[in-house]
Amino acid sequence: MLLIDGHLDLAMNALNWDRNLALDVYAIRQAEAGMTEKGRGRGTVSLPELRKAEVALCFATVIDRTRHAGSTSTGSACQEISYAKAQGQLAYYRVLEAEGKLKIITDWPALQAHLAAWPREAEAPLGIVLSMEGADPIVWPEQVRAWWDDGLRVVSLSHYGRSAYAYGHDMEGGLTEAGRALLREMEAVGMILDLSHLAERAFWEALERFQGPVLASHNNCRALVPGNRQFTDEQIRALIGRQGVIGVALDAWMLYPGWVRGETSPCVVSLEAVADHIDHICQLAGDAHHAAIGSDLDGGYGTEQTPHDLDTIADLQKVAGLLERRGYRQEEIARIFHGNWLALLQRAWAGG
């Protein structure tokens, strides 16, 4: 089944980990054999593997945190450096586009044309919607317009710790004054707001102030896995009320209660847990119109921190069968696999 993935850090893997994503996943693993760092030799994503997974489109990130006083996270010394690093990641996408390996999609007609061609053409490029995880590479709020011209269409305000614009999920706090100004600029140009990773206060303040389209690219359910990285049922209902879509992530510590990174074995969690979170969102909504997949695979980890029955991203296709066995109809599974992301992009870009 055609699949849209709401969150993949493709350029981060290429530039930060020196991965040639044009290679087969197993060739990349072989190249990293003997490396001891987390995730090395255990990657799940490459361009050929995305085709095997039937991923025609993904939300692909640019990302670089800035180090801020009082923040719990590390990062670059200043936002100007974060901007330059994120622009380097954009340059990576652009050279792949020039080679015909991917296509940056920025509007509804282009997306329609891409999806119409994709099933028919064996070598059709991967489509990407350019997304920014943590807004520090936007050096000042008005710069969002230049980023829009660069093709950026989705922005989250913070990642881990505090950004220039908001507090992340591992801290307590709301929006900064610059964050409020950034939301005004984003709404003016038509940018989509990604609410993933925000501290609860920042989440509610952003949702109240921003009237444009919203989503959560990679977020799970706190009712199933306690922790401030996951959304409460109240937050999920609020997103549903705004016609938002929530992409369920495959990072195991967001799927299994009590997971200890670096210690817990993947054998304790399977793709059934992914179906659990999708189903929970659907039960809260009363329909299948708001759940999706935002895998975050290879988001700084590999198969040591994913469900044990996932070897590569192609195994996301197994989720369809899991949902079918739970009574989901084919049209509902199609919504979860791609239709809900498409409907959100149509609303954002074509007023549909």
Give the tens place of pLDDT for each residue, 225-258: 999 999 999 999 999 999 999 999 999 999 999 9
How much is the mean pLDDT over the chain? Answer: 97
User: For the chain, where are the E strands, in sequence order?
Assistant: 3-8, 55-62, 102-104, 126-132, 152-156, 192-194, 214-215, 246-248, 291-293
Of the candidates 193, 179, 183, 188, the one whose C-alpha atom is nearest the C-alpha of residue 344 is 193
**Rounded mean pLDDT, 21-46:** 97
Per-residue pLDDT band for 118 (boundaries 50, 70, 90) equals confident
- d(C-alpha 312, C-alpha 208), whole Å: 38
What does the pLDDT read at residue 119?
77
| Cβ burial 80-114 (10 Å sphere, 16+ → b, else e) | ebbbebbeebbebbeebbeeeebbbbbebeebeeb
pLDDT at 201 over 70: yes
What does the pLDDT read at residue 111?
97
The amino acid at residue 44 is T
For the chain, counts of helices (H) and of strands (E): 13, 9
pLDDT tens digits, 311-342: 999 999 999 999 999 999 999 999 999 999 99
CA dist 234 → 3, 48, 157, 168, 170 (Å)? 28, 39, 20, 18, 19
pLDDT at 195 over 70: yes
Q: What's the pTM?
A: 0.98
Are residues 211 and 241 in contact, defined by beta-carbon separation less than 8 angstroms?
no
pLDDT tens digits, 71-102: 999 999 999 999 999 999 999 999 999 999 99
What does the pLDDT read at residue 291?
99
- d(C-alpha 311, C-alpha 315), whole Å: 7
Per-residue pLDDT band for 218 (boundaries 50, 70, 90) equals very high
pLDDT at 260 over 80: yes
**Rounded mean pLDDT, 248-269:** 96
Per-residue pLDDT band for 352 (boundaries 50, 70, 90) equals low
pLDDT at 145 over 90: yes
Per-residue pLDDT band for 121 (boundaries 50, 70, 90) equals confident
CB atoms within 10 A of CB 331: 9
Domains of the chain: 3-350 (3.20.20.140)
**Rounded mean pLDDT, 134-158:** 98
